[in-house]
Chain A
Amino acid sequence: MASSSDEQGCCGHCACSAGQGEDKDGKSRREFLAYTAGAMGAVGAGAAAWTLIDSMNPAADTLALSTTEVDVSALKEGESLTALWRGKPVFIRRRTTKEVEEARAVALTDLRDPQTDQDRVKQSVINGKESPEWLVVVGVCTHLGCVPLGQKPTDPHGEFDGWFCPCHGAQYDSSARIRKGPAPKNLEVPPYQFIDATRIKIG
């Protein structure tokens, strides 16, 4: 049997093809064993690699810290505060009636990421009563992760009475929806609920 005719699963270049004088059965048996061992080795290496990679995912203690409680009793209409949730800023804004009306007057067709204001504040329910003046969003620009300005009255609020990201000029409206600039999405609304009139549980 010509030694050049077989490829032992590698580059086929090595002396591993020194199969002179072997009968066909012996050779196929050897190939079968080589492929079996190779397949098992691949499975084992894959399992080991996954163990290593998975160890970099959030650990149990990190996952357990996924809720935070915020006292919002000090917020007056037209004021905002920033809370920390999962290491990220969360904007909590008690909007003025004007801001709510502005947000609701926009046609969905004018929006890059169409979503109604009603939809974005539907979790703002205090003691069973809808309270659309409360807007809760993750304060991370959906472009590349900077924190937009607009929490303080003296901050720039952009053209839409909301937030303005200084990094690349994304502008969000008073519902924190993207209106202008490079960001693709509205600011994310996290899961939250009002424990009572003064406390919000985020996460």
Chain B
Amino acid sequence: MAHDERAPFKNPVIAWIDARLPIFSFMNKEYGQNPTPRNFNIWWNFGALSLAMLIIMAVTGIFLAMNYTPSTDHAFASVERIMRDVKGGWLLRYLHANGASMFFIVVYIHTFRGLFYGSYKAPRELLWLFGVAIFLLMMATAFTGYVLPWGQMSFWGATVITNLFSAIPLIGDAVVTWLWGGFSVDNPTLNRFFVLHFLLPFVLFGIVGLHVAALHVTGSNNPSGVEPKSGKDTVPFHPYYTVKDLLGIALFLALYAAVVFYAPNFLGHPDNYIPANPLATPAHIMPEWYFLPFYAILRAVTVDITVPFTNIVLISSKLGGVILMFGATGVLMVLPWLDRSPVRSGAYRPWFRVFFWVLVVDCLTLGLMGAKPVEEPFTTIAQLATFYYFFHFLAVLPLLAKFEKTLPLPSSIAESLSVKKTLRVLLPVLFLIGLAMQAQAAESDAFPPHRPTAGWAQEGILGRYDQAALRRGFQVYKQNCSSCHSLKYLSYRHLAALGYSAREVAAIAAGNNVADGPNDQGEMFQRPARPSDAFVKPFANDQAARAANNGALPPDLSLIVKARHGHEDYVYSLLTGFDQTPPEGEKIAAGMSYNPYFPGHQIAMFAPLQEDSVTYTDGTKATVDQEARDITEFLAWAAEPEMETRKKTGVWVVAFLVALAGVLSLLKREVWKKLD
């Protein structure tokens, strides 16, 4: 075939451009006919998938940034505005927030594929190093991004991670102050993290370019680890791998969409729907799941290293943890020189393969331990797992290179095709199990159980709010809650979703007075609220709210269902839990009520609901249970007003992506059938 020289293009415009800037020739060479090993398995899909995720993150991020305000006073509210008022904003934000998790899933699989098949070995060391650099930059980008919503986890994550640098001897504190631009994580920190979060992805694109350029110099590794020797070993990249990569992308997007539309908060923490509070750390702080293994290593070091027989500390446990945590990525940088085995692919290294799976399980264990509280036996397990992690890279791999009896290599890729494919599904299964365990680990411990409920109308793939219950719930809010609890991220106009007409909404709004001004005399004045106004707050500020409530701050209820473990069940249990009597010996403090569903069991709120404390306009009997269910339903809507649209849209998007994957799968079979 005469494809090697630059053939004239039929299209005169393309030919004209190509003669002056040969981008079409370049694309044809690198992505058209580029001879690529014909034996890629599914794990070779994850490079293209990573690039797809990077692009999705960049694009959604740019459009989110257009509506985001990087200021401690406005960041949280601007994110809520994106969720509630910006067109499609909830979709962009959930795509971006879950996209980070998806990106890490893809990159972790891509990395472990490289580890198993020896893709880091000569001549691909530099390619591998660029990959590690990409991973580091990704982590920095993900971390700065997680700070931006300015919730409790954002703030305390930022505090803990920036404090890592205080472990640096001598200059640590100065470095941390410099990172913060102040004496704590505050507005200057948020502002610069926003800039970094916007900037770093462009650096990422640059390094990804180098990663891909290096790949195109050495060519891809392949499952046999044997370099292609003849044309029989390769196929042109297009259409063979374009169609395969596109199929992988469509399938992965379907999974991604399922998460975005049906479990958008599954991988997040409820605490991050509480605005940042520099005065109170949440009881259970932990990083996002993709940092958990590193977090476990950080916490695994519990002893200082001292000069023997003295009290002089050489390396404090704090510094030791930080060193090991960075070292965990550091060993990856020297990996090409630690594993000197001449055989690349794990498929031909019987012992290496065993240790590889031990490493996979070890990393999952570290992740799980990262989600656990610091107590036994978790600390010991984390320490053993940390030890094995480093032992694997620093001892096992160098020793295996010396002593392992490897299997005979196939003489060519074509010959290797007869070898049976092994362990196809184990890796993703392990990953998914690990993920689920880590998410569950956060939920399970230390939270009081909830009352059994009859379930909620909004549950399930096609769940919708019960509009009658929403309206009753709004009545309960007005009657029983609104004198203490604000609902500040809602405006009266939002009540249209409860089925109220524009006239009814205007009347509801006008029933409240809102401060406005200054007028021409320079004075503030009161006027009836309009539909465009936010719900009027019961207190002018937090201090006034505390002063009127025995020192306790009644929380804003806009996000309460999303911001508590157990969600609807928790709110319902709490509201109905005042009928319980405290166990003998539990002393209830003055001004407090006993409630077994509240963390700590003592709450500053008195039973807010009583039989017939509202008169429902629809004639429903107002029992405490009914009121609790209705207000919970209303608050669930207040927290996620986009839920119905989200679930309805999700059906179309997932169905479309599955259909697209179906067509691509047929096309792939057509393309590949003359080879198989």
Q: A residues within 8 Å of B by Cβ?
A: 3, 8, 11-16, 18, 21-22, 26, 29-30, 33-34, 36-37, 40-41, 43-44, 51-52, 54-57, 59-62, 64-65, 67, 71, 74
Is the Cβ of B28 less than 8 Å from the Cβ of A14? yes
Is the Cβ of B236 less than 8 Å from the Cβ of A60? no
Which of the listed residues A34, A36, A56, A60 has the most CB atoms from chain B within 10 Å of its own CB?
A60
Is the Cβ of B656 less than 8 Å from the Cβ of A59? no
A40 with B659: in contact, given A11-B14, A15-B33, A55-B89 (CB under 8 Å)?
yes
Is the Cβ of A15 less than 8 Å from the Cβ of B238? yes
The A-contacting residues of B in range 15-36, CB under 8 angstroms, are 24, 28, 32-33
A59 to B494, CA, bound (A): 13
Q: Which of A14, A52, A55, A71 contacts B238 (CB 8 A)?
A: A14
A55 to B90, CA, bound (A): 10
Q: B residues within 8 Å of A by Cβ?
A: 1, 3, 7, 9-11, 14, 24, 28, 32-33, 59-60, 63, 66-67, 81, 84-89, 91-92, 236, 238-239, 246, 491, 493, 519-520, 530-532, 656-657, 659-660, 663-664, 666-667, 670-671, 674
Chain B nearest Cβ from A198, distance in angstroms: 12
Chain A residue contacts of B491, Cβ below 8 A:
61, 64
Q: Which of A18, A29, A59 contacts B670 (CB 8 A)?
A: A29
Is the Cβ of B85 less than 8 Å from the Cβ of A15? no
Is the Cβ of A65 less than 8 Å from the Cβ of B674? no
Is the Cβ of A16 less than 8 Å from the Cβ of B236? yes
A64 to B113, CA, bound (A): 52
Chain A nearest Cβ from B213, distance in angstroms: 21
Is the Cβ of A11 less than 8 Å from the Cβ of B667? no
What 4 A-B pairs come out closest when comparing CB atoms? A14-B32, A15-B236, A64-B532, A33-B667
Chain B nearest Cβ from A196, distance in angstroms: 15
A44 to B660, CA, bound (A): 9
Q: Which of B3, B11, B84 contacts A11 (CB 8 A)?
A: B11
Chain A residue contacts of B67, Cβ below 8 A:
55, 59
A26 to B672, CA, bound (A): 12
A43 to B657, CA, bound (A): 11
What are 17 contact pairs spanning A and B, CB under 8 A? A8-B239, A11-B9, A11-B11, A11-B14, A13-B10, A13-B28, A15-B236, A22-B674, A30-B670, A36-B663, A37-B246, A37-B660, A40-B663, A54-B88, A60-B493, A61-B81, A64-B531
A15 with B1: in contact, given A40-B663, A59-B86 (CB under 8 Å)?
yes
Residue of B nearest to A71 (CB): B520
A67 to B493, CA, bound (A): 14
Chain A residue contacts of B32, Cβ below 8 A:
13-16
Chain A residue contacts of B531, Cβ below 8 A:
64
Chain A nearest Cβ from B18, distance in angstroms: 9
Chain B residue contacts of A34, Cβ below 8 A:
667
Given contacts A8-B239, A16-B239, A18-B1, 13 further A-B contacts (CB under 8 A): A11-B10, A13-B7, A30-B671, A33-B670, A37-B663, A52-B92, A55-B88, A55-B92, A57-B87, A59-B87, A60-B84, A61-B81, A61-B491
Chain B nearest Cβ from A15, distance in angstroms: 4
Chain B nearest Cβ from A72, distance in angstroms: 11
Which of the listed residues A13, A51, A59, A64 has the most CB atoms from chain B within 10 Å of its own CB?
A13
Residue of A nearest to B62 (CB): A52
Is the Cβ of A52 less than 8 Å from the Cβ of B656? no
Q: Which of B3, B7, B660 contacts A40 (CB 8 A)?
A: B660
Chain A residue contacts of B87, Cβ below 8 A:
54-55, 57, 59-60
Is the Cβ of A74 less than 8 Å from the Cβ of B520? yes
A56 with B493: in contact, given A3-B1, A13-B7, A13-B28 (CB under 8 Å)?
no
Is the Cβ of A13 less than 8 Å from the Cβ of B9? yes
A13 to B519, CA, bound (A): 71
Is the Cβ of B10 less than 8 Å from the Cβ of A12? yes
Chain A nearest Cβ from B81, distance in angstroms: 6
A33 with B24: in contact, given A13-B32, A16-B238 (CB under 8 Å)?
no
Chain B residue contacts of A8, Cβ below 8 A:
239
Chain B nearest Cβ from A8, distance in angstroms: 7
Chain A residue contacts of B660, Cβ below 8 A:
37, 40-41, 44
Chain B residue contacts of A22, Cβ below 8 A:
674
A51 to B9, CA, bound (A): 36
Is the Cβ of B9 less than 8 Å from the Cβ of A61? no
A12 to B28, CA, bound (A): 10
Is the Cβ of A30 less than 8 Å from the Cβ of B667? yes
Chain A nearest Cβ from B301, distance in angstroms: 45
Is the Cβ of B656 less than 8 Å from the Cβ of A44? yes
Chain A nearest Cβ from B131, distance in angstroms: 28
Chain B residue contacts of A15, Cβ below 8 A:
1, 3, 32-33, 236, 238
A13 to B28, CA, bound (A): 8
Is the Cβ of A21 less than 8 Å from the Cβ of B66? no
Q: Which of B66, B530, B667 contacts A56 (CB 8 A)?
A: B66
Chain B residue contacts of A71, Cβ below 8 A:
519-520
Chain B nearest Cβ from A63, distance in angstroms: 9
Chain A residue contacts of B659, Cβ below 8 A:
40
Residue of B nearest to A3 (CB): B1
Is the Cβ of A40 less than 8 Å from the Cβ of B84? no
A44 to B652, CA, bound (A): 11
A37 to B243, CA, bound (A): 10
Chain A residue contacts of B89, Cβ below 8 A:
55, 59
Is the Cβ of A11 less than 8 Å from the Cβ of B24? yes
A159 to B540, CA, bound (A): 53
Which of the listed residues A15, A33, A52, A57 has the most CB atoms from chain B within 10 Å of its own CB?
A15
Q: Which of A12, A55, A60 contacts B66 (CB 8 A)?
A: A55
Residue of A nearest to B673 (CB): A26
Residue of A nearest to B64 (CB): A55
Chain A nearest Cβ from B16, distance in angstroms: 13
Q: Which of B24, B63, B88, B664 contacts A13 (CB 8 A)?
A: B24
Chain A nearest Cβ from B94, distance in angstroms: 12
Chain B residue contacts of A14, Cβ below 8 A:
28, 32-33, 236, 238-239
A59 to B85, CA, bound (A): 5
Residue of B nearest to A58 (CB): B87
Chain B residue contacts of A30, Cβ below 8 A:
667, 670-671
A59 to B77, CA, bound (A): 14
Q: Which of A11, A52, A59 contacts B81 (CB 8 A)?
A: A59
A29 to B91, CA, bound (A): 36
Q: Which of A21, A37, A61 contacts B532 (CB 8 A)?
A: A61
Is the Cβ of A55 less than 8 Å from the Cβ of B63? yes
Chain A residue contacts of B7, Cβ below 8 A:
13
Is the Cβ of B236 less than 8 Å from the Cβ of A18? yes
Residue of B nearest to A57 (CB): B87
Chain B residue contacts of A18, Cβ below 8 A:
1, 236
Chain B residue contacts of A36, Cβ below 8 A:
663
Which of the listed residues B92, B246, B664 has the most CB atoms from chain A within 10 Å of its own CB?
B664
Is the Cβ of B63 less than 8 Å from the Cβ of A52? yes
Chain A residue contacts of B11, Cβ below 8 A:
11
Which of the listed residues B86, B491, B659 has the most CB atoms from chain A within 10 Å of its own CB?
B86
Chain A residue contacts of B532, Cβ below 8 A:
61, 64-65
A40 with B88: in contact, given A30-B667, A59-B67 (CB under 8 Å)?
no
